[in-house]
Amino acid sequence: MSTPEVDSGSTIESSPAGPPTGNSFLGDVRVNFTRWNRKAIRNPTAFLLEIVIGLFSLVLFAAVFGDVGEFALAEAGYGDVGYVTFLLPAVLMQATIGSSFNSGIGLVGDLDSGMFEKTTASPMSWTAVFAGKAASELLRIALQVGAVLALAVAMGATIETGLPGAAAIVLVCLPVGVLFMAISNVVGLLARDDEVLNAATMLFMFSLLFLSPAFVPLSDDIELLATVNPVTYGVDAVRALVLDADVATVLDVTAFGSVWNTLVPAVAVLVALDLVFGALAVWLLGRASSANAD
Amino acid sequence: MTDTSSRTGATDSTGGTDPTTRTDTADRTDATTRIEDTADRTDAATRADGGADPERSVAVADLELTYSDGTEAVEGVSLAIPRGEFFGFLGPNGAGKTTTIKVLATLLNPTDGTVQVNGYDVTERRTAVRATVGYMAQETAIDEELTARENLDFACAAYGVPSAERDDRIDELLDLVDLSDVADRPAGGFSGGMKKRLDAATALVHEPQLVFLDEPTTGLDPKARNRLWDYFRRINDDGTTVFLTTQYLEEADALCDRLAVIRDGEIVERGSPAALKRRIGGEILEVDVGDTEATSDAAVADPAADAAGADERDPIVTAADIARSPEQFGDDATVETTDDGVRVTTRRASERGTDFVVALRQAGVTVERFDVEEPSLDDVFLAIADGETPDLDAADGDPADDEQRDDQRDPVESEVTV
């Protein structure tokens, strides 16, 4: 037992091991998952609004860009693809990004209300706290994507890969969601202001969507920007599942065959970005919850 | 009762004079204070003995915390808080109260010093500390979208309260903080006092051995404050150690067994509320006087003198003059005139009050009201916050000085007796 010196001739002994806390990692994840689900149910406005925005965007973009889109599709060799079908990945990405940014807004809310500090002061694992919150947000993203998919099909969109493809589309949207949840948490931790986050949502959502092949086939003018744009990979992956074809726009992979030539590299890029931005967000969260006197 | 560490002039780690030395010197002059300040000597013993003591909820030795911008928020704080004590930590804004409490609650790492809470080192056994303390932050921290019951359920889960016990524990706490009727309503609709009570309840779901309350009643109306006070008393009566920071002196006075006052990151005074008031503020003697009695020897014997020096026979002025004489209350008394008499702030109010009244009567002044009051803790706090703590060593320190003052007092007493 170490006995560090405290005062002249006096010592303070090392403290004993702590008592069992009754906490477990999975239990901590579950309680935080439950908390954020309860909050969403109690105040469903943001959740419902994201669904409405997704549905509204699908109808609006189809109406406004329909003619131009059909023309561009014909020029790009997608003559047999309806514009609603082509537009579907764009609207799914928009819904996913918009919903993901609510993660940062929730974090800022907890910072403002003192719940962040209160949670930090408890014996819960901070990683479990974050995982529970993220799991709740991913559940809501999956529900929103499902709602937009259902409406798109009702409006005449065709998912060539069928029901399994639809399920895969929901799954592909999740790494996109994780990426933008991480980005929104980084912005939230740096700005600690939900107005900044709202502005950042619009900035990320529209600039990245329009710099990708989301609304119209990719032109040479923006190919370079599209290559470094994560939304491009989300759009490509979803579109590959919608059309059951290799539709990669910036990567040329032939190793997997057909739809997988798009799906595998696109998802790999998204997962890699998740790891990078997720690590950044976790590092910042760890710093915010740490006991260092910054 | 003696204290070796104090009598030998205990020094803190910086080599400065230990504040408790001054405290204990004062003890020798006042038997009552001596009894009340036993706990102070425990503080001194913290530094002398060290060690994880199961009887102590908090043991802090030479705590320092410097923020990355160079701000020295806490500079050499040492504390020892026995289990079951209701401890108050006072100080003005920016004094270091919240920083200290955050170190104790493991939310900030100390820059230097050793801090043990419930026997666990706050940096080495953080989870153990967190599992055995409750923390109520300065700002109300509840989830307003959840109901009161859901907030408590979340807190139960966060502190690992077994599922089988949760419902009973939640009902018990809702009853304790008087929120049973609104248990299933979202907390966002609660009043400020209800939110504070709910917040306090969430800090107690795991029946902690020690609870930190950081300015818990700030912003509450008196009724809500009183309800929280009752609540805090009840949890303390049940054996929970309470560490309270507050700027409300009446709160500290009403609740705390013992206080420490922090200023500019250093503890400048400590002791029971009553002892602090006596040591720093003295007592207040108020005497209302009536007209000078017609039998005043001077007035009867020499009417001309009466006309020439009317204000000498003004009973208030006469009373003030008598009070100001060093023989009456010593050199450190403050004498003010009021509309009806005089107000004397002195450490010797109880001891010399009767003699003063006798002296007034001998001077022909009628005493209509006589009252000895303790100063408010606000007076003490303001003096400390402004850095105007009297030099206690000079005031109360050396027993020889007391004897000398006693000698000076004797002639007056003889005169009165005669």
Report CB contact under 8 Å: B158, A124. Answer: yes
DSSP letter, residue B393: I
Residues A220-238 pLDDT 10s: 777 888 889 999 999 999 9
The letter for the amino acid at B204 is L
- A69/A270: higher pLDDT: A270
Contacts of B49 in chain A (CB under 8 A): 10
Q: Which among B30, B11, B25 has a CA at the least distance from the CA of B278?
A: B30
pLDDT at B185: 95
Quick check: B159 and A121 CB within 8 A? no
Report whether B346 contacts B352 (CB < 8 A): yes
Q: Is the dihedral of CA B54, B57, B59, B64 positive or negative?
A: positive
For residue B100, the SS3 value is helix
Residue numbers in A near B4 (CB within 8 A)? none
pLDDT category at A3 given cuts 50, 70, 90 is: very low
In a mutagenesis test of the B interface, which of A43, A122, A290 is the best target, namely the one with the most B β-carbons within 10 Å? A122
Report the number of secondary-structure helices (H) and strands (E) in chain B.
20, 14
DSSP string, B333-388: -EEEE-SSEEEEEETTHHHHHHHHHHHHHHTTEEEEEEEEEPPPHHHHHHHHHTT-
Nearest to B47 among A7, A22, A294 (CB): A7
Question: How far is CA B378 from each of CA A173, B33, B155, B248, B279, rounded to the nearest angstrom?
Answer: 61, 19, 36, 8, 14
Q: Is the pLDDT of residue A29 over 90?
A: yes
* Mean predicted lDDT score pLDDT of chain A: 85
Higher pLDDT, A22 or A25: A25
Residue A291: the pLDDT is: 63
pLDDT reading at B221 higher than 90: no
Q: What is the pLDDT of residues B232-245, one digit of tens each?
A: 999 999 999 999 99
Cα(B25)–Cα(B394) distance, integer angstroms: 10
**Gap from B196 CA to chain A (nearest CA, Å):** 13
Q: The tokens 């409490």 sit on which residue?
A: B101
Q: How far apart are CA B342 and CA B290, in angstroms?
A: 12
State whether residue B175 is helix, strand or coil. helix
Average pLDDT over residues A20-37: 88
Tell me if the pTM is above 0.95.
no
In angstroms, the separation between the Cα of residue A71 and the nearest Cα of chain B is 49
What residue has token string 């803190």? B12
pLDDT at position A20: 60
ipTM of the complex: 0.82
Q: Between residues 70 and 109 of chain A, which touch chain B (CB distance below 8 Å)?
A: none
The pLDDT confidence band at residue B16, using thresholds 50, 70 and 90, is very low
Give φ, ψ of B388 to 5 degrees. Answer: -110, 30
CA distance B320 to B413: 18
Q: Residue B210 has which token pair?
A: 């020690």
The yes-or-no verdict on residue A159 having pLDDT over 90 is yes
Query: Which comes out higher in pLDDT, residue B296 or A2?
Result: B296
Q: Strands, DSSP E only, in B139-238?
A: 210-214
Closest CA to B71 of A287, A294, A289, A288: A294
| Range of weakest confidence among A54-58, A166-170, B122-126, B356-360 | A54-58
pLDDT of residue B47: 38
For B131, which of A7, A19, A293 is closest by C-beta distance? A19
Contacts of B175 (CB under 8 A, 6+ apart): none
Query: Which chain A residues are within 8 Å of B142, Cβ to Cβ?
Result: 113, 115
- Provide the pLDDT for residue B383: 66
Q: Residue B204: closest CA among chain A residues belongs to which residue?
A: A122
CA distance A285 to chain B (A): 14
DSSP B3-53: -HHHHTT-B-TTSPBPHHHHHHHHHTT-HHHHHHTHHHHHHHHHHHH-S--
Provide the b/e sequence for B222-247 (b: ≥16 CB within 10 Å).
eebbebbbebbeebbeeebbbbbbbb
* Cβ contact A13–B67 (<8 Å): no
Backbone angles phi, psi at B193, to 5 degrees: -65, -40
More confident: B83 or B40? B83
Please report residues of A whose CB lies closer than 8 A to that of B73.
293
CB atoms < 10 A from the CB of A254, how many?
8
Q: Which of A210-214, B100-104, B268-272, B375-379 has the highest mean pLDDT?
A: B100-104
DSSP H or E segment with residue A152: helix A126-154
Rounded to an integer, what distance in angstroms lies between the CA atom of residue B238 and that of residue A174?
50
What is the count of residue pairs from A and B with beta carbons less than 8 Å apart? 148
Q: Tell me: the pLDDT tens digits for B250-302?
A: 888 889 999 998 888 999 888 888 887 776 666 788 899 886 654 444 444 44
- pLDDT per residue over B166-180, tens digit each? 999 999 999 888 899
| B389 min Cα distance to partner chain A (Å) | 27
Find the closest chain B residue to A4 by CA distance: B114
Residue B61: closest C-alpha in chain A: A6
Q: Which residues from B are below 8 Å from A123, CB to CB?
A: 127, 130-131, 158-160
Closest CA to A140 of A105, A189, A164: A105
Average pLDDT in chain B: 75
Which residue of A6, A21, A41 to mutate against B (max B Cβ within 10 Å)? A6
> Which residue out of B129, B145, B215 would a mutagenesis test of the A interface target, given it has the greatest number of A Cβ atoms within 10 Å?
B145
- Smallest CA–CA distance, residue A17 to chain B, in Å, is 7
Residues of A in contact with B62 (CB under 8 A): 6-7
Type and span of the H or E element at B206: none
CB-CB contact of B143 with A39 (8 Å): yes
Whether the predicted pLDDT of B149 surpasses 80: yes
Chain A nearest-CA residue for B162: A22
